[in-house]
Structure 1
C-alpha cells in the first residue's frame, strides 16, 4: 500500500458518472482540488451501500472543505448511474474494472470468498493532493461510519 507523502502515477483513464453524465477522464483531471477516493467492491451490496450512504449524507461537508469526493469500484457506469439515483449520490462514481487506481496506489490484496482466492483492490480510502501526493490513507474502511472517519482524518490534516 502506498504511504503518506508518496506520489501516485495519475496518468490513467477512468470512466465516471458525474451529475448524471457518463464520461472518460484521466485521473489527474479529477484532481482540480484535493480529492478523497473511497474504494468499495460492488454496487448494491450491504457493506458497500453503508459505505456510500455514509458518504452521501456528508458529501456537502467534504465539498465545503474543498475536497472532490470520488467513490470507485469495478462496476460499469450504467450500474453506477442507477446506484447514484437509488442512493442519492451527489459525488463522482468511478468505474475501474482493470484496477488502474489500485495498481497506482499499490492496494491490490489477496481475498478469499467461498473457498476461492483472488486478487482485488482493498476497501480503503485515500486523500490525494492536486499534484498526486498522498496526504493520508485509511487502509481498512469502517463501512458504517466511513464519513465520520474521513471527517476526523481531514480535520487532522488542517
Structure 2
C-alpha cells in the first residue's frame, strides 16, 4: 500500500458521474484531482455498508469542502449505476466507475477478501487524501462506514 509522501500514478481513464443529474464522462483520473482531494473507495452501490459510507460523506460534505477539499468516490459500479445512485442519495461529488480496480492498483491497495466462503481480490475499502499532483497526504485504511465523514474530517485536521 502506498504511504504518505508517495505519489500515485493517476494517468488512467475512467468513467465519471459528477453528481446527481450529471451524464457520464470519460476522462483521466488525474484530471479530476485538480487540488486537494479526498478519494473514498467502496465496493458496490446499493449495499448496506457502502450506502452508509456515502451517506456519511454527503452529511459532512460541506465541512470537507470548507477545508478546501474536493471529494471523489470510487467503486466497481457502472456509470449508469452511479447516475441512479447519485440521484438516490443526493450525491454532489464525483462518482468514478472503476471495474478494473485501476485506482486500487495505483494505490497498491488490492487485497484478498472473503465473503460467503468465497475468496477474491478487490480494492481496500479506504480513503486517500491527495494533493493536486496525486501525492498522498493521508490514508484511512480502515473505514468506519457510519462515521466515514467524521473520519475524513479528522484526517484533514491532522494534515
TM-score (norm 1): 0.97
Map 1:136-147 to 2 at 5 A: 136-147=138-149
Q: Which residue of structure 1 aligns with residue 86 of structure 2? A: 84
Q: What is the distance in 2 between the residues matched to 1:126 and 1:70?
A: 10
Whole-angstrom distance in 1 between the partners of 2:62 and 2:149:
11
Contact 2:35 2:133 in 1 (8 A): no
Structure-1 residue corresponding to 2:76: 74
- In the alignment, which residue of structure 2 is the partner of 1:7? 7
Tell me which residue corresponds to 2:25.
23
2:113 aligned with 1:111: yes
Residue 101 (structure 2) aligned to one of 76, 94, 99: 99
SS for the counterpart of 2:145 is: coil
Q: Structure 2: any 5+ residue segments left out of the alignment?
A: none
Q: How many residues align?
A: 157
Match of 1:154 in 2: 156
Matches for 1:50-65 after TM superposition, within 5 Å: 50-65=52-67
Cα separation, 2, equivalents of 1:94 and 1:142: 21
Task: Please list every run of 5 or more consecutive structure 1 residues that lacks an aligned counterpart in the other structure.
Answer: none
SS of residue matched to 2:150: helix
Q: Secondary structure at the match of 2:39?
A: strand
Give per-residue Cα distances to partners, 1:20-78, cap 9 Å, x unaligned: 12101111111111110000010000000000000011112222221110011000011
- Once the two structures are superposed, the pairs formed by residues 118-133 of structure 1 within 5 Å of their partners are 118-133=120-135
Contact 1:30-1:68 at 8 Å conserved across structures? no
Runs of 4+ in 1 over 3 A off after TM superposition: none
- TM-score by structure 2 length? 0.96
Give the drift of 1:156.
Answer: 1.1
